[in-house]
Amino acid sequence: MKKIRIGILGAGRGIDIAENLLLLDCEIAALCDFNKDRLYIGRDRLGIDVPVFESFDEFIEQELDAVVLANYFHEHTPYAIRCFEKGIHVFSECISNGTMAEGVELVRAYEKSNSIYMLAENYPQMKFNREMKRVCDGGTLGKLLYAEGEYNHSVNPEETDFLKSCVYFPEHWRNYLPRTYYVTHSLAPIMWATGATPKKVSAYPVFGPMKEYATTRCVGDIAAIMTTLNDDGSVFKFTGCAAYGAHHNAYRICGTNGQIENLRGMGEKVMLRYNDWNIPEGMEEANLYDPSWNDKDEEKIESSGHGGGDYIVARMFLDCIREGRQPEHPYDIYSATTMSSVAILAHRSILNGGQPYDIPDFRLEECRKKYENDRDTPFYGSDGSKPTIPCCSKTDYTPTDEQIGKYTELMKNW
């Protein structure tokens, strides 16, 4: 069988994905990054003689079956559209679109193409999240009513290597990332397990800047708490990328008969509980256990990043290509743009005192028309364009001169 030829845009995160694709017997046919140093470091990590390009125009002219989009967080859409125009399949890091108008453009271009599009969201495929979906699909929880998702990724502010490698100039997207935007790690797992899709969102911030450390980060919020009303009448509560408490990600799903959750600080353990009057045969009222993978590729999964999710989603993408089908909810393009809409509109909710916003369905032309010219963004663009909306709940927040000075001095020594 002919190997699938894949190009990688983004030699940071993209190399992690490429390593899993190599395990799945693909050919990495080209590597592109606009940062020359990262480009060659990335190629060295792969350990293969792959052509490298600083120009996307040259990169996209290679003979490629698919492209991994692992460039800047908010800039995936233009490159996805270029791939669609050439009939190339797309495996896109999160989020799918950085503005509402880009979501419209992405879906319109996709619908004109024959390309497969899959969101490269790995957290639903962690072992405990796969177990939650298995239990939900089994029906013993009854009607699913409520779910929580919490992605908490605190970073040691004294760990300067993170700044040097991930926030290496003041206008970098991480310095302007609203706390609602990095939403898919908390939202996608509960969408996947329950099958529900958000239809309305409201959000509130948790403001708590750390003033004493080197940074040029213009967001003083440490979390955003979002709530959605969903298409099946259920409710979700979840964070974006939060930075309070201890590092963890946690999920909980409740039905009419019971609930299941993973336990913070206890590895991959789950707690499955039922009401004492409707305990399924063979189960206890409270069931604490370590789930199993039940997967033929367990050894490769265990060696993969993000709790095994990196390998599994790469395999899912390749299966879609080989079988000629689009991925299912919440990996398809409509789910991806829904999650991006949640991220964007939840931030607007914060800026407007918790005002709820309807989440558009970009299958519908009336929703596309409403947002086709909506290009508000909290980020600087790679073309030098400036933000058009505040990135923090306290719109006048900025890092101190001392913090900026420490950051500047740190980067001089990089």
Q: Which residue type does 363 have? A: R
pLDDT band at 159 (very low <50, low <70, confident <90, very high): confident
Q: Within 13 A of 201's CA, how many CA atoms are on the CB side?
A: 29
Using the predicted structure, report yes or no on whether residue 413 has a pLDDT greater than 80: no
Band of pLDDT at residue 160, cut at 50, 70 and 90: confident
φ/ψ (deg, to 5) at 41: -65, -40
* Alpha-carbon span 187 to 126, nearest angstrom: 14
Can you tell me which residue has the tokens 């969408």?
Answer: 191
What number of helices (H) and strands (E) belong to the chain?
13, 15
Q: Which residues 6+ apart lie within 8 Å of 66 measured at CB?
A: 4, 5, 6, 7, 88, 89, 90, 91, 116, 317, 321
As a whole number, mean pLDDT of residues 287-308 equals 90
Pair (40, 134) in one structural domain: no
CA distances from 55 to 52, 60, 61, 93, 349 (A): 9, 9, 10, 20, 38
Is residue 211 scored above 80 in pLDDT? no
Neighbours of 81 (CB within 10 A): 18
Task: Read off the pLDDT of residues 348-377 as tens digits, 9 standing for 90 and up.
Answer: 999 999 999 999 999 999 999 999 999 999
Kindly state whether residues 106 and 153 are assigned to the same domain.
Answer: no
Domain contains 376: no
Angle (CA) 60 61 65, round 5°: 70
In a domain, 401, yes or no: no
Q: Give the residue-averaged pLDDT of 230-254.
A: 95
Shared domain for 214 and 241, answered yes or no, is yes
CATH of residue 294's domain is: 3.30.360.10
My answer on whether omega of the bond before 390 falls inside 30° of 0, hence cis, is no
- Cα–Cα distance measured from residue 385 to residue 294, given in angstroms and rounded to the nearest whole number: 48
377 found inside a domain? no
Domain span at residue 70? 5-122+318-323
Classify burial at 253, counting beta carbons within 10 Å of its beta carbon; exposed 0-12, middle 13-18, buried 19 or more. buried
What is the chain's mean pLDDT, rounded? 95
List Cβ neighbours of 190 (8 Å cut-off, separation of 6 or more): 147, 148, 149, 196, 236, 238, 251, 253
End-to-end Cα separation, the chain, in angstroms? 46
- So what's the pLDDT on residue 414? 61
Residue 271, domain member (yes or no): yes
* 165 and 25 in a common domain: no
Per-residue pLDDT at 388: 98
Give the least confident one: 29-33, 96-100, 161-165, 239-243: 161-165
Listed residue (158, 128, 54, 116) closest to 336, CA to CA:
116
* Domain identity same for 80 and 154: no
CA pair distance 327, 59, nearest whole angstrom:
26
170 shares its domain with 268: yes
- The amino acid present at 287, given as its one-letter code, is N
In this structure, the answer to whether residues 61 and 98 fall within a common structural domain is yes
Cis peptide before 95 (omega within 30 of 0): yes
pLDDT at 250: 97
| pLDDT of 292 over the 90 cut | yes
Say whether both 160 and 245 belong to one domain: yes
Tell me the mean pLDDT in the region 212-223: 92
At position 82, the amino acid (one-letter code) is R
CA 239 to chain centre: 12
pLDDT band at 213 (very low <50, low <70, confident <90, very high): confident
Q: For residue 335, is it within any domain?
A: yes
Task: For residues 24 and 108, state if they share a domain.
Answer: yes
Q: Is 111 exposed, middle or buried (0-12, 13-18, 19+ CB in 10 A)?
A: exposed
| Same-domain status, 151 and 167 | yes
Is a pLDDT exceeding 90 seen at residue 157? no
Residue 218 in domain: yes
Residues 100 and 147 in one domain: no
Burial class, 112, CB count within 10 angstroms (exposed 0-12 / middle 13-18 / buried 19+):
exposed
Helix (H, G, I), strand (E, B) or coil at 196: coil
With respect to residue 160, please indicate whether it lies within any of the assigned structural domains: yes
For residue 17, give the nearest of 380, 384, 315 by alpha carbon: 315
Which one of 323, 357, 380 terminates a domain? 323
Helix or strand run (H / E) with residue 345 = helix 333-351
Residue spans of beta strands (DSSP E) within 167-266 = 198-207, 221-230, 235-242, 248-255, 258-262
| CATH value at residue 42 | 3.40.50.720
> Can you give the pLDDT at residue 234?
98
Query: Do 83 and 133 share a domain, yes or no?
Result: no
What's the number of domains the chain is made of?
2
State the alpha helices, DSSP H only, in 24-89.
36-46, 56-59, 77-85
Residue 266 lies in a domain: yes
Q: What is the DSSP string of 123-148?
A: GGGSHHHHHHHHHHHHTTT-SEEEEE
